Each structure stands twice: as structure tokens, then as C-alpha cells.
Amino acid sequence: MAGQLNLSLRGHRTGLITVSDLVRMVRDTLDANLGEGWVVGEISNARLAPSNHFYFTLKDSRSAINVVMFKSAFQRMRFKAVDGMEVIVRGRVQVFEQRGALQLYAEEMEPRGVGALQVAFEQLKRRLEAEGLFERARKRAMPFMPRRIGIVTARGGAGLRDMLRILFDRFPSMQVIFRPARVQGDGSALEIAEAIADGCDRVLNLAAGLDTRPYRLDLPADFTWVEADLPRLLAEKTQLLADQEPRCRLTRTAVDLADPRARDAFLNDALDGATKALVLTEGLLMYLEDRDVAALSEAIKRPEVAWWMLDFAFPGLKEMMNKKMAGMLENAPFIFAPDNGLAYFEDLGWRVVESEYLMAAANRFRRLPIFMRPLAWLPQPNPRHPGRRPWSATALLTR
């Protein structure tokens, strides 16, 4: 508390004020003297309103206070809050004027003594156990040598590239069934959060596919996220996510990014009002010609754009993918794989803020199978002279 409440009502029938005036005085005094803080207590009377605002009472052995967590904050929670759970809540106390009652407006909540991710894991585990999914009768022995393996992941993702390289090297006769699913992972979440902390006021996700980060990441409610892709893909995505609520201001624009006029018109509109935008082109560049990558680079060299986050393949990976997956990649072969790696973008006038090989990133986020993790410990190729090794990398660029 920054200071003491200075609310005086001296005298008898003198200086009369209305109830509304009294409540307003208490509200103004609280606003001036009591800032945001963390409160610990036990949840009771928890209920989720149809509006997805979360209401509950926070109490201890002596007192209780009503709490409201609005939809945008509630959807960022990673665990299920239930009656009897002890939590710590970050928020601000204000007066609910209609009833003259104190109310805590919560922005964040964590279980006390255990992380939200652990609680979420335990809750999911109990739910799956209740559904009988862990029963012994359901378990099947893994074959010593499977005849075919199915992979569902992004066509240009690290998981697909690394799995295929290992499988074809060690088991050339193995049948692989591939189902592409264009989804970006969590590898860029930290970089996006750091960019926002550094003043980023807009994200432009080009060729967004089925990326769901606007629904998953802890983003400010007033942050602007713009997605661009072909009309059919955006229509499919809108239908799939119709019952989900993004955590920021999300807009989608149908545009053919291969059309220079359409691309420039989109950028003019999407960057209007931005001052430090981040452009994402994950899973896009490897399908473009060199001249198209250079044209895209030139198109986003604008004062409003502060960063460019991308991933790209090395020549060895392009050769391996197009050879091993000829039938599957017939309509979308790997094209862009610069011999000079990161130096290609530096020659275009960009400066590398950071770069990481996708194998290392997958290992860092524990996405690699145990038997593949030692591969991430091997010496990494020079990102500016990658040679013929089948690797790929992600990079954050600025100018």
C-alpha cells in the first residue's frame, strides 16, 4: 500500500454526502493508494459465466473477497481452477460501485506451491485415466521392426526432415506414410515474447497455414496479429477454429503472396499504424525461387518492420527431401536452399540477431525421440558455409 486511506466523515448531519459519493470516495482513494499486487487464498464458489468471465471467492480463515477474471486473462490459464485449490492471484482491488463492495480484478493466477503446467498435466492425466485410456487391456506391444511408419507433421518441419533422414539411412526399405499438417510449434514463442517486450506492436504471419499461436501464446489482449494466406486455406482454418477465441486482436487476409501487386497492397494495409512489426515466414521460403525470396525481402524492408523471423533449408536437405520424397513433394518440391546459408540474407541487407538449427531447437523443446537426441550434440555446420549436410535452421533478422 503506497499510503494510508484519508477518508474523513466528521461531524453530525453536516457535510452530508450521498451513498454514491461515499462509494466513489472510497474507490478514488483505493485507486490512488493501492496498486496491483499478489494475493494468496483458497478458491470457493467458482463459476464460469456464459461470457467466459470467471468468477470466484478468494478466502482465508478470517476474510474473503470476490474475484473476477475476465475472458482474455482466463483463457491464458494453463490449469483448471476448482473449489478448494490454494492459489496466488495477481490483480488490482477496486470498488464495485453498484453494490459498494470490494472486488479483486485478476490478471494472472497460479497454483500455490506447484507450477501451472504440472497441475495441468496432472489434471489431464486424471481425466484420461477416468476414460480408461491407460488400462492394460488397451496397451499393445511395440513390434521389434515395424513394416511401416506414419508421420503427421509440417511438410517443412524439423520432425519430418530428421525422421526421414534417419529412417532412410538406417532402414531404406521402410514404408513411410506421410500426412502433411501445417502447424508451427512453440520454438518461436520466446522470440515473439521478447520482441513484444522490446516494443513490437504487430505480427504479420505470411503463409500462416494452421498456425494457432494467436490462440495459445500469452499475448496482450490489444496486440495485433495479422495472418495472410490463400483463400482456401484461410477458409478451412476459420472453420476449424470457429469455436475458439484468440488471445489478441487477430485478423486474416486472403492474398496470393506470389502476386507482387497483391502482396504490396496487403503490406500497405497490414502495416498501417505499426511502428515495430515482426514478419513471420516460417515454412514458406523453401518453396520459393531465389528471385522470389529476394523480392519478398525487398518488399518487407519498410520503416514499420523491425524484425523478420524465418526458417530455411541447407542444400543437403533440399537434395535429400526431393530425392527421398519425390512422389509426395511432386507438387511442392524444395526449391530455395542457399549455398551460403545465412550469408544470403546478410547480402540482402539484413543482420542476424540469432539463429538456431532446427535439430537443436527440437531437442531443446524435448520434441526429439530419445534415440535421436545424441544427434543434436554433434558439431553444428557453419551456418554461412553449410556444405551438403541435410540440416535446416531458423533465424531472427533485423536491419
Higher-pLDDT residue of 347 and 149 is 347
Q: What is the pLDDT of residue 120?
A: 60
**pLDDT for residue 155 is more than 70:** no
Q: In sequence order, which residues have a C-beta less than 8 Å from that of residue 166 and are 6 or more positions away?
A: 372, 375
Q: Please state which of the ranges 15-19, 31-35, 152-156, 365-369 shows the lowest mean pLDDT.
A: 152-156
CA dihedral (7, 8, 12, 16) positive or negative: negative
Q: What is the pLDDT of residue 166?
A: 66
pTM of this structure: 0.55
Residues of the chain with pLDDT > 90, as a percent, come to 24
Q: How far is CA 112 from CA 78, 116, 222, 335, in A?
A: 14, 9, 29, 51
Which phi-psi region, left, alpha or beta, contains residue 15 (left: φ > 0; alpha: ψ -120 to 50)? left
Q: What is the pLDDT of residue 182?
A: 43
Higher-pLDDT residue of 334 and 206 is 206
Q: What is the pLDDT of residue 228?
A: 93
Q: Which tens digit of pLDDT belongs to each residue from 166-223? A: 666 666 666 676 655 444 544 567 778 778 878 899 999 998 877 888 888 888 888 9
pLDDT (mean) for 267-295? 92
**pLDDT for residue 363 is more than 90:** no
What distance lies between CA 386 and its chain's CA centroid? 29
**pLDDT for residue 376 is more than 90:** no
- Winning range, highest mean pLDDT, from 1-5, 9-13, 87-91, 388-392: 87-91
Q: What is the pLDDT of residue 1?
A: 42
Q: What is the pLDDT of residue 213?
A: 86
**pLDDT for residue 162 is more than 70:** no
pLDDT (mean) for 108-130? 69
For residue 142, give the 3-state DSSP assignment.
Answer: coil
The DSSP call for residue 298 is H
CB 248 within 8 Å of CB 218: no
CATH superfamily name and code, 188-398: Vaccinia Virus protein VP39 (3.40.50.150)
Domain positions in the chain are 19-116, 188-398
Q: What is the pLDDT of residue 144?
A: 66
Q: What is the CATH number of domain 19-116?
A: 2.40.50.140
Higher-pLDDT residue of 5 and 376 is 376
Q: What is the pLDDT of residue 65?
A: 92
Domain pair 19-116 / 188-398, same fold: no
**pLDDT for residue 38 is more than 80:** yes
Q: What is the pLDDT of residue 13?
A: 57
φ/ψ of residue 372, rounded to 5: -100, -10
**pLDDT for residue 282 is more than 70:** yes
